[in-house]
Amino acid sequence: MERLRDRVAIVTGAGQGIGEAIARRFASEGAHVVVAEISPALGEATAATLRAETGTRAQFIRCDVADARSVEAMVAETIATLGAPDILVNNAGIAVFGDPLDITDADWARCMSVDLDGAWFCCRAVLPAMLARGRGSIVNIASNHSFQIIRNTFPYPIAKHGLLGLTRSLALEYADRGITVNAISPGYIDTPLNQRMFAENPDPEARRKVEAKQPVGRLGRPDEVAAVAALLASDEARFIVGANIVIDGGVTIRMYE
């Protein structure tokens, strides 16, 4: 199925993990994907793989989403090389976890600037082109942390709560002008981010213990998130406005046991 044939899609942080899976799924559905990634090595590799696998015009453009000028330059280059963006996925994100009173100002700023400011900078940069053409889909990768709290993960959930607020606010602002803005909230997904956290955990059983806490007994896969992103980016989802689709294997519907 090629629901995204010849659409131009920007996916931030698409060098690995969930973003890479979304970029791959979009390209397999016919989109020309901009891999907007901070790491040139990861970004180049993903774009080259997508071109080879799908024959689309996937392209790496280096971008630090926390830097408004970098974002504006990335969107300008997208328009110059591939055309106006039809789809934006705000996926780039970092986990900054700690005790509230141990967090430094730099930790706070780093978390907010990538996880929240970055998404806004990208929305602000693509919206004029989307509004001019009367169509566009924005998908924000939020988290279970957008509506539930785990102690000692401060301030990540604050940024992710804000990302849901951004989603709903922009969704309503532009609902009557052909733009959809929605969020996806993944639970525990098996990506390099989590693989790193397990590797750094002194408990060798850390991964197994997390898996045991999941109602389905495993972590989610990046391609399971990508499948929903493709739906939200497609014309099949034009009546889905300001939604937050939770993909977490049931973990947040469970009451304590």
Q: Which residues are catalytic?
A: 156
Closest CA to 71 of 87, 49, 90, 94: 90
Using CB under 6 A, which of 74, 158, 181, 189 touches ligand NAP?
A: 189
Question: E strands along the chain, which residues?
Answer: 8-12, 32-37, 59-62, 87-90, 97-98, 136-141, 154-155, 179-186, 244-247
Q: Is 214 in the site for ligand NAP (CB under 6 A)?
A: no
Provide φ and ψ at 17, rounded to 5°: 65, -140
Among residue numbers 67 through 106, which ones bind ligand NAP (CB under 6 A)? 91-94
Instruction: Say what the alpha-carbon torsion angle 32, 93, 133, 136 is, to the nearest 10 degrees.
Output: 80
Q: Is 39 in the site for ligand NAP (CB under 6 A)?
A: yes
Using CB under 6 A, which of 8, 15, 59, 180 touches ligand NAP?
A: 15
Per DSSP, 220 falls in state: B
Among residue numbers 218 through 247, which ones bind ligand NAP (CB under 6 A)? none
38/82 with CB nearer ligand NAP: 38
Structure tokens at 64: 């630090």
Using CB under 6 A, which of 49, 194, 214, 244 touches ligand NAP?
A: 194
Binding residues (CB under 6 A) for ligand NAP: these are 12-13, 15-19, 37-39, 42, 63-66, 91-94, 114, 118, 141, 143, 186, 188-189, 191-194
